[in-house]
Chains A and B, each alone.
Chain A
Amino acid sequence: MPDGSGVNELYPSLNNLDQNSFNLSEMPCIIRNGLGNELSLIQMSGLEHLSEVEINNIVNYVLNDMNNLSLEFTIQQTEETLKDCSE
């Protein structure tokens, strides 16, 4: 949902993330490449057209505006992460 809330277990919430809730460093890769495949129930299409800067902004928006984690990804971190995404 636009406010980051999910729908039961179907669409996991993006609120209430903490530093241990999942591997936060995967977030740039998930945004770019999506999640799941044809057979999985939970799927997200990749947003391949987004630039590194845009992905970086989204990650920081989710971490800070939706969760107040006071964590910030630098553009260098995002670029580095995106280089190592496994398909």
Chain B
Amino acid sequence: MKLSTFTSLICALIYLISCSVDQQKLPILGRMNIEGTDTILHKIPKFNFINQDSNYVTNQDLEPYIYVSDFFFISCPSICPLVKKQMLRVYEKYKDNPKIKMVSHTIDPKRDTPKKLSKYAEKLKIDTDKWMFLTGDKGEILDIADDYFVAAFEDADAPGGFDHSGKIILTDTKGHIRAFAEGTDSDDVTDFLKDIDLLLKEYE
């Protein structure tokens, strides 16, 4: 009995996998809510942050684009350099593609001022029209990390004072999360680049 349950589970899994391969379309991630007869899909709520040039950036600025985001802080001694190297791979691949933007949120707004973020971007040798660095109210930043399914919180015992995951997230033009990768894992990011290509096909 147990074996047959297991076998049917495996079959269902293979069916699901083959389905997603057939359709060649990324799923919309997150919990679905049913309100009356409407299905509400998870999406990034409205936000208003400040970029490296001290200009406001809201959802509306990102709406025409699909974008790749991560969370970091400048003085982060642990995983951030690894994640930034992978973000740089994404940047290098799509820097000439006008459909994509990149967004890095600092989780340490007290120390990572716009001026410092601007210097950081300069040292990273990237174009901030393409890849922006955002700061803002700490509560709002940590809240939006939740919406991206990224764990981020202050922790005096963690190296650098913050604990956070190194996820890289892909969001579509409607604010739905479509894929993510572990930013410390180069192989995972290789697959993620394929996911980005797949999402781009939806906008051709």
A residues near B (Cβ < 8 Å) are 1, 7-11, 38, 41-45
Contacts and interface: CB of A to CB of B under 8 A. Distances in A.
B75 interface: yes
Nearest to B120: A41
B123 A8 contact: yes
A10 B82 contact: no
For A8, A10, A42, which residue has the most chain B Cβ atoms within 10 angstroms?
A10
B57 interface: no
Majority secondary structure, A binding face: loop
Contacts of A1: 81-82, 85
Using C-beta atoms within 8 Å of the partner chain, give the interface range for chain B.
10 to 19
B39 to A, nearest CB: 42
Nearest to B82: A1
B77 interface: yes
Given A41-B74, A41-B116, A41-B123, A7 B111 contact: no
Nearest to A40: B75
Nearest to A42: B123
Nearest to B77: A45
Given A7-B88, A38-B111, 7 more contacts: A9-B125, A10-B81, A10-B120, A10-B123, A11-B81, A38-B75, A41-B116
B105 interface: no
Contacts of B120: 10, 41
Nearest to B81: A11
B125 A8 contact: yes
B183 to A, nearest CB: 13
Given A38-B111, A45-B159, A9 B123 contact: yes
Contacts of B81: 1, 7, 10-11
Contacts of A44: 77
A12 to B, nearest CB: 10
B124 A7 contact: yes
B119 interface: yes
A73 to B, nearest CB: 24
Contacts of B77: 43-45
Interface in B87-139: 88, 111, 116, 119-120, 123-125
Contacts of A42: 123
Contacts of A9: 123-125
A65 B110 CA distance: 39
Which 10 pairs of residues, A with B, have the shortest CB-CB distance? A10-B123, A9-B123, A8-B125, A45-B77, A10-B124, A43-B75, A7-B85, A11-B81, A8-B124, A41-B119
